[in-house]
Amino acid sequence: MEKTKLALVSGANGHLGNNLVRLLLQKGIQVRASVRNIKNKAAFAGLNCEIVQADITDKASFVRALQGVDVFYAVGASFRLWAKDPEKEIYDVNMQGTRNTIEAAAEAGVKRIVYVSSIAALNYNVLPAKESNGYNPDRRDMYYNSKNDGEQLAFELAKKFNIELVAVLPAAMIGSQAFAPLNVSYNIIRLILNKQIPVETNITLNWIDVKDVAEGCYLAAMVGRNGERYILANEKCTSIRETTKIAKELFPELKLKLPVSVPKPILYTVAWLMETVSKITGKAPVLTTKEIAMFSGLQQNFDISKARTELGFTPTNTRDAIKEAMLYLKENNQLLH
């Protein structure tokens, strides 16, 4: 495929969206960046790109934003694991957003879409998880459900409208350019550095450098096969304990302590208390009972041979990605607090 004449990146002031805008500009691609609030321009300081207003809940705004676009990078979504009304605030928003943006792309004459899905849309019953094992049968989380159902809807609509669509499934993105508030994954690194994860939850994460995910999105646009899905992750997951060990080595002056193991009933009690407070304050809890039930002990290990072979995806090793993310947060101290 030839170099794109014009690319639209939705959610362009988010962590992945903004790093993708920067990468495409470096590659000499003309970029139109869409944001929900046109006043949110801090993330684009010094960048030579067009900024437009578009909201995934408003189809007409995307019909306008996608005029003349060759490749649409569908990054924008509600990325959170907690809400007062998760079905309405997460699931419905993401499903409607997928339908709106792909229908808008069809109306605007867009030929190719890179749809950003998630490792949430993978089946973990056989490890390492891979694309061909199908979708996640665990239906306990509305964000996860929105990614599983949203990706399938995206493929259906693309086929209906005869648009080429490639799905990418990133793991826990950290590192590089970021703006407050930090996304869910990057915020965990912040919590570790701020000594706010004192207990071991046995929750692992598959850390991936956001720049590698941006590169994977670009490669998917260039050489990804229509109708295919590609995991953008590292092979092995890392525990919070191991991640904290890396922080201890990097910053001995912080005097970080490794998280302490506690019995699971105590973990559930702590999480329940946090959720109770959140219902009153409206602020997301650090830990939920559902997260313990779904993720404690789950090994997020992946077979990424398809992305390596077909896209040429070569991620930074996990340890280096974690170190770079921690150093970035320390250097940009305002993001730590």
Mean pLDDT of 229-256: 95
Query: What distances in angstroms separate CA 19 from CA 9, 33, 44, 264, one per listed residue?
Result: 10, 11, 10, 38
* Residue 266 reports pLDDT greater than 70: yes
What pLDDT is attached to residue 84?
Answer: 83
CATH superfamily of the 6-179+206-234+302-329 domain: NAD(P)-binding Rossmann-like Domain (3.40.50.720)
Residues 6+ apart with CB under 8 A from 158: 102, 113, 115, 164, 165, 227
* Residue 77 reports pLDDT greater than 70: yes
CA dist., res. 183 & res. 66, Å (int): 26
pLDDT per position as a tens digit, 214-227: 999 999 999 999 99
pLDDT per position as a tens digit, 23-72: 999 999 999 999 998 888 888 999 999 999 999 999 999 999 999 999 99
DSSP state of 291: H
Q: How confident is the model at residue 81 (pLDDT cuts 50, 70, 90)?
A: confident
Given a contact cutoff of 8 angstroms between Cβ atoms, the answer to whether 221 and 168 are in contact is: no
DSSP state of 311: I
DSSP state of 203: B
Per-residue buried b or exposed e for 24-59, using 16+ beta carbons within 10 Å of the residue's own CB: bbeeebbbbbbbbeeeeeebbeeeebebbebbbebb
Mean pLDDT of 285-312: 91
Given a contact cutoff of 8 angstroms between Cβ atoms, the answer to whether 196 and 254 are in contact is: no
Q: What mean pLDDT is reported for the chain?
A: 92
Domain boundaries, the chain: 6-179+206-234+302-329
Tokens of 318: 């996990």
Q: How confident is the model at residue 1 (pLDDT cuts 50, 70, 90)?
A: very low
pLDDT per position as a tens digit, 90-137: 999 999 999 999 999 999 999 999 999 999 999 999 999 999 999 999
* Residue 179 reports pLDDT greater than 60: yes
Tokens of 201: 């939850």
What pLDDT is attached to residue 142?
Answer: 93
H or E element: which one contains 6? strand 6-9
* Residue 305 reports pLDDT greater than 60: yes
Return the bridge partners of 53, or none. 35
Residues 6+ apart with CB under 8 A from 221: 1, 4, 7, 71, 73, 112, 114, 166
